[in-house]
Amino acid sequence: MLTIFFIFDKKIIMENVNVSLVIPVKDEEGTLETLYEKILEVLESLNLSFEILFIDDGSTDRSFDIMKQLSQRDSRVKVVRFRRNFGKAAALSCGFEKAKGEIIITMDADLQDDPKEIPKFIDLINNGYDVVSGWKKDRKDPWSKKIPSKIFNKITAWLTGVNIHDFNCGFKAYRNEVVKNLDIYGELYRYIPALAYSKGFRIGEVVVEHHPRIYGRSKYGWERLIKGFLDLFTVVFLTRFLKRPMHFFGGLGLLFFIVGFLINLGLTIYKYTTGALIGSRPLLLFGVLLMILGVQFLSIGLLGEMINNVTHGRKKEYLISEEIGFE
């Protein structure tokens, strides 16, 4: 009887985390303490149990020492330190794996996301949404970031069928079940709403206040946009065609074959009816060749993604050097 109680007790303790905050950190020494205080102010007033999971993604400044101190002061703070910088995606995956909360909230460490918005996310999850995505409606970043991002979001919403405005927003909340059932790798975390939607989860959106970056600097530039655009192909492919790659590649192949056949047929008829020469159009040939090559390269890329998706998960994409504050 005693044992049963003990196990029961332990189960309660283990499942007692309502909210896990997952925060990726790369060189954010200027904001961590303030961030921690702001989070406490909000979460303590909500009267629920929580943990704060910092993933130190290879910081080279004092970030790790600060987080370590916070963890020593407060047992709800846990820190995972990566051996080197593996990227925000890896940091989030690691956080998802470690998180014990029923609700998992991700936010940036640079104070651009405001902890006072957290209750809005929790409310929507409690209202039945499985994923709640923040929308930085009034985004405090330079125009060079805002305009491409707007176009990108429109295309993504259209292609994935998920009608939210701000896929890239790092401020999001998830029901535990969602993150434990997702296969994200590389930079695909950005498309979690689309990936989750394809699995039948309900997606919601909430407007959040956004602040300019005051300390440190952004770790991302233009290359992220290009990579993000390429990832969009992957996501559409993975969510729509993964199980039937033939429907994708075969469809494209068929289309090209038919177009090519019609062009040749047309040129042949042209030659026999007018007697004209048809073999001297280098630019046309060049253009056609480039297009076919382009599609082939893209298709090979997608095949690679498919293999990646099937085999991933057998090997972690990050290495941990220290874990602090875990039982």
Which of 112, 160 has the CB closer to ligand UDP?
112
Round to whole Å and give the CA distance between 291 and 32.
49
Shortest reach from residue 216's CB to ligand UDP, in Å: 8
As a whole number of angstroms, the distance between CA 122 and CA 49 comes to 13
Q: Which is nearer to ligand UDP, 87 or 115 (CB)?
A: 87
Closer of 26 and 100 to Mg ion (Cβ): 26
| Residue number, 25 or 235, with CB nearest to ligand UDP | 25
End-to-end CA distance of the chain: 26
For 207, the 3-state DSSP assignment is: strand
Closest CB to ligand UDP among residues 193, 248: 193
131 neighbors 104 (Cβ within 8 angstroms): no
| Contact between 238 and 164 (Cβ < 8 Å) | no
Q: Which tokens hold the place of 213?
A: 């970056």
Binding footprint of Mg ion, residue count (CB under 5 A): 3
Answer yes or no whether residue 67 interacts with ligand UDP by CB under 6 A. no
Of 191, 172, 188, nearest to 134 by C-alpha is 172
Q: How far is the CB of 27 from ligand UDP (least distance, A)?
A: 7
Short-list 137, 142, 147, 153, CA closest to 209 = 137
Q: Which of 17, 21, 25, 179 is in the footprint of ligand UDP by CB under 6 A? A: 25
Classify burial at 279, counting beta carbons within 10 Å of its beta carbon; exposed 0-12, middle 13-18, buried 19 or more: exposed
Q: Nearest-5° angle of CA 121, CA 126, CA 127?
A: 95
Among 20, 24, 132, 171, contact with ligand UDP (rule: CB under 6 A) = 24
- Tell me, residue by residue from 213 to 252, as one string, x for binding to ligand UDP by CB under 6 A and - for no binding: -----xxx--------------------------------
* Contacting Mg ion within 100-159 (CB under 5 A): 108, 110, 112
Q: Does 91 bind ligand UDP (CB under 6 A)?
A: yes
If binding is defined by CB under 6 A, does position 153 make contact with ligand UDP? no
Which of residues 171 and 201 has its CB atom nearest to Mg ion in the complex?
Answer: 171
Contacting positions for ligand UDP (CB under 6 A): 24-26, 28, 57, 85, 87-88, 91, 108-110, 112, 170, 218-220
